[in-house]
Structure 1
Amino acid sequence: LLVIGANLRREVPILAHRLRKAALRGAQVAMLNPARFPHLFPVRAQLTSAPADLVGDLAAVLAAAAAATGKSVPPQLASAVGEARVTDAHRAATQTLLSGERRAVWLGALAARHASFADLRALAAALAQLTGATLGRLAEGGNAAGAYLAGAIPHRLAGARAAARPGLTARDMLQRPLRAYLLLGGLEPSIDALDPESLRMLAKAELVVAVTPFASEEAKRIARVLLPMGTFAETSGTYVNCEGLWQSHPGAAAPVGEARPGWKVLRVLGNLLGLEGFDYQSSEDVLREVREACAGVKPAGYQGSHAVPRAADAIDGAARQPLVDVPMYQTDAVVRRAPSLQKTREGRTAAVTY
């Protein structure tokens, strides 16, 4: 197994525990990360790479794999792989991956946050193909796969259908001012946006509406309207895990006071604006529509043909963008307000920028 850009114990603790059990039984593991994380299990090969060098180091691992297997890399990667400087550490990572009968390459949350993630994914996919490994993506958060299937990304609709008019990413929205913003789910831009300019950009808007469980001082300062929303535990819903398993649950408690589940707040806003497609009566109606849209969706490997540039041609700005590792008990507004969690060692840990 080769893990790329993942602080496993922080991102996916249960998976980290399972990997520890496998490693103690003899599984061979290699890591390519911006720092040496405490894994609590034996790691056969460990590459520590600064964010600006992560793409180059993965290209070197791919070059070592091509040499070891006698196979060629895809032509769109040839330039980046051809100039990679292969060391014994890269060869060790390759040999670790080739040592097992069942092989896998995982991309974690730190890889996904990297400014050159498309390069990392293309190189990882080629590495998996050359070594006969399975390419895996450790989606960030508890329901990232579900959000993607529901179309909660700029360029896709529900069922992973391409959007005729792609929307904006959160970064795009915060880099150029918009007339109005809707902040959903207890977002606290000063923490969640990882952008020091986010509050200044929101202050320029004519209207900011925050749909949130918490009337924080920051929310009161930046939003003209606060709409009370229940937390994830106060509504029914569905999660889709990395395996693709759909798991539905009822609300564990009733929303407090005038708070309503987030989907209901969005439905009423859509009704008031006269928009189509906001006639849901229950969260089961939403689930049914998403399931129907996803009926033809099947798991598939990486299908891209992204060309990775040579290091000399890479965009300097992307290489200089910071890579932030967020502590697990700082990831959302709910855990940030849990005194018991904040008293733990992880809760007292500050975010790290590499």
Structure 2
Amino acid sequence: MLGLVAAALILAGFVLFLVKFATADGDFTLTSRGKPKRDEVEGKVVWITGASRGIGEILANQFTSLGAKVILSARNTVELERVKSEIISKYPASRVEVLPMDLASGEESLKESVYKAESLFSSAGVDYMVHNAAFERPKRKALDETEEGLQATMNINVLGTITLTRLLAPYMLKRGRGHFVVVSSAAGKCPSPGQALYSASKHALNGYFHTLRSELCQKGIKVTIVCPGPIETSKTSETSSSGKSRSLEKRVSAERCAELIIVAATHGLKEAWVSYQPVLFVMYLVQYMPTIGYWFMDQIGANRLDAAASKRSAYSWSLLFGHKKSA
């Protein structure tokens, strides 16, 4: 009798696990942490790149709501001023500064930006550097990528981001504290057919920042890498309302993604994944059972290219059963 009860409990637990896994919007470590920890960011200076729209804009709003002082950076000054104005209208007591910056502008220009950021808020210095800016090209085959695309992707996603980090880190080391929050991608953890250059750039970021943390963690420097899968933004919403079929594609909202990024950062996680299925499932496979995970991606690679070309969902279970048409 006790054996039957134990078996029933084990079965129920397994079913509960499957249901939770099927409906999760992030890895289990991340989603078990609850809400962002306000005391970790209140009064701290948070510098966000790519802050003129999308997740960067939402991160700025959410960090401000937690009492952080925020520096907004991107190339578009007009949009940055809009974001600042909207934040202040929502949180009148907030402290927000605009610092226009182009990650591809070279070391001397970025050095000046770091100096300005460190000088803001009575020279309080930067506590959190949120690397959110990224360049992403339309999906295409790896062999169709061009030198121009390679340079544009790597200059912003890798070279500019690393250079900015290398210039800012000495200030943090001098204070004995600092936290780099890197918005990477699921494409930086597993194959991403149609996004070879973007995937390569995110793999590069993951490698650099995991290594940086290992070198500097005993000197007060923290690094959190967040790897989102497909995210629902205003751009993807417009696509879905245009009549194109995306019924099988479920994306995490940009607001929820930003919240989970802050959860990961304020709870001191080293890496976190944000996605619904099937992307989350593939990430777990590639991480813990790489042979099976890569086999799985090999089965859907060509189908994903075809889906992207025909404006269909590139993140659906149905890709596993499609016809391989791409050469």
For the superposition of Structure 1 and Structure 2, which TM-score range results when normalised by the shorter chain?
A: 0.3 to 0.5
The structure with the largest alpha-carbon Rg is 1
The structure carrying a bigger helix percent of its residues is 2
TM-score, normalised relative to structure 1: 0.34
TM-score, normalised relative to structure 2: 0.36
Task: Tell me which of the two structures has the higher relative contact order, counting C-alpha pairs closer than 8 angstroms and 6 or more residues apart.
Answer: 2
